[in-house]
Amino acid sequence: MSYRLLSSPLQGFTDATFRNAQQKYFGGIDTFYAPYIRFNRKMIIKGSYQRDLNPEVNTSLNLIPQVMTADADHFIFVIKYIQSLGYKELNWNLGCPYPMVTKSGMGSGLICNTTQIDHILDRAHSETDVTISMKMRLGYESSSEIVESFKILDKYPIKNIAIHARLGKQLYKGGVDLEAFQKCIDVAKHTLYYNGDITSVAQFKAMQERFPSIEHFMIGRGLIADPFLPSMIKADTNQYPENRWEIFREFHDTIYQQYDSMLSGPTPIKMKMLGFWEFFSQSTHNPQKVYKAIKKATNPFKYTRAVNEIIALQKKQ
Ligand SMILES: Cc1cc2nc3c(=O)[nH]c(=O)nc-3n(C[C@H](O)[C@H](O)[C@H](O)COP(=O)(O)O)c2cc1C
């Protein structure tokens, strides 16, 4: 097999609890990226980031930390922090599309600011020995932005550039722009990773066929919607294991119990799991009905009953 599958980070979803359970019950992911570290006003690594990156809770998986910033001091601070934990690589997020982020010149709003990208990479490479990789969109307004940024990125030993083949201004709307991604392949000197809308074995194969030189594929939302996806891609099959729903149930109960012990009170755990079911429901036979049933479950007892009913129904279909 000449390709690797990577878990593209989703803030609020692909934390250590999810990653470990995904790895244990389904497998298929070669490397996980942690959701980004971000600062508010103070240069302090929040407790939730610290707990998530703690090597002791990530022993069985390959994990790469990520940062989202447009500030060189912050960048260096995070490099030193992740190095103190033993990590060798830091991924830099130039992809986030949300206006609160892009308006302050971060995420995909930073792609057009090649002077600042240059400044930050220059400091990172002259002041530290960390390995840097990038995660970008094609641009915020136009895909000419990423092509321009390559001229700067070419100066540095960037390990790879993962590209979510959309523009920032699209948010998650519209399709991925495969022609623009091809243009990136044509001009890039660095290794590119493909990211965007891999939600099935067929979709993966279509991307692999269209971009034969690409050896790394990142799966974001598709991994949460169907945690079996990477192992099925690797086995080159559309066939789920016979005990599909038993495995899913064990996975579900594992993350539920861990979140329940970390969150206090019935509302936070309900909201947490509802967020997951927005994705999980997509790989059931009746997504809207499933999501509604979870939404209506107003206490833990009703929630468990709803999950029991959903699983029983899926097994019958
Ligand atoms: C709720 C949510 C949170 C996300 N958080 C991050 C993040 O922390 N870091 C990052 O690089 N990308 C983040 N992304 C983007 C995904 O990693 C991915 O690039 C994007 O969803 C496209 O890939 P997909 O079509 O396979 O999901 C997030 C996306 C969503 C929907």
pLDDT mean over 305-310: 98
Closest CA to 195 of 31, 1, 2, 7: 7
Answer yes or no: is pLDDT of 224 > 80. Answer: yes
CB contact set of 139 (below 8 Å; sequence gap of 6+):
108, 111, 112, 145, 146, 167, 168
Q: How close is the Cα of 258 to the center of ligand 1, in Å?
A: 23
Name the residue at shortest CA distance from atom 4 of ligand 1. 10
3-state helix, strand, coil in the chain (%, to 5): 50, 15, 35
Taken in order 8, 12, 17, 18, the sign of the CA dihedral is: negative
Answer yes or no: is pLDDT of 17 > 90. Answer: yes
What are 75-129's pLDDT values in tens digits?
999 999 999 999 999 999 999 999 999 999 999 999 999 999 999 999 999 999 9
- Which run of H or E residues covers position 94? strand 89-94
pLDDT reported for residue 220: 98
Cα–Cα distance, 85 to 57 (Å, whole number): 12
Q: Which atom, in ligand 1's list, is nearest to the CA of 196? A: 25
273 token code pair: 């799991």
Answer yes or no: is pLDDT of 51 > 80. Answer: yes
Rg (CA), the chain: 20
Answer yes or no: is pLDDT of 266 > 80. Answer: yes
Question: What DSSP string runs through 173-216?
Answer: -S---HHHHHHHHHH-SS-EEEES---SHHHHHHHHHH-TT--E
pLDDT mean over 209-227: 98
Ligand 1 near 226 CB (within 6 A): no
Closest CA to 273 of 289, 253, 288, 287: 253
Name the residue at shortest CA distance from atom 8 of ligand 1. 35
Confidence of residue 40 (pLDDT cuts 50, 70, 90): confident
- Which run of H or E residues covers position 116? helix 114-127
Question: Cβ(107)–Cβ(115) under 8 Å?
Answer: no
Ligand 1 near 137 CB (within 6 A): no
Averaged pLDDT of the chain? 97
Three-class secondary structure of residue 209 per DSSP: helix
Closest CA to 135 of 54, 82, 196, 87: 196
pLDDT mean over 284-288: 96
Ligand 1 binding pocket mutation candidate from 8, 38, 178 (most atoms within 8 A of CB) = 8
Question: Cβ(225)–Cβ(217) under 8 Å?
Answer: no
Cα–Cα distance, 290 to 284 (Å, whole number): 8
Three-class secondary structure of residue 163 per DSSP: strand
Closest CA to 228 of 13, 14, 8, 23: 23
Pairing outcome for strands 4-7 and 31-37? parallel
Percent of the chain residues past pLDDT 70, beyond the cut: 100
Percent of the chain residues past pLDDT 90, beyond the cut: 97
pLDDT reported for residue 317: 83
Ligand 1 near 219 CB (within 6 A): yes
pLDDT reported for residue 101: 96
Three-class secondary structure of residue 235 per DSSP: helix
pLDDT reported for residue 265: 83
What are 138-152's pLDDT values in tens digits?
999 999 999 999 999
pLDDT reported for residue 1: 61
Cα–Cα distance, 141 to 113 (Å, whole number): 12
213 token code pair: 């030189």
Answer yes or no: is pLDDT of 71 > 80. Answer: yes
Ligand 1 binding pocket mutation candidate from 193, 221, 278 (most atoms within 8 A of CB) = 221
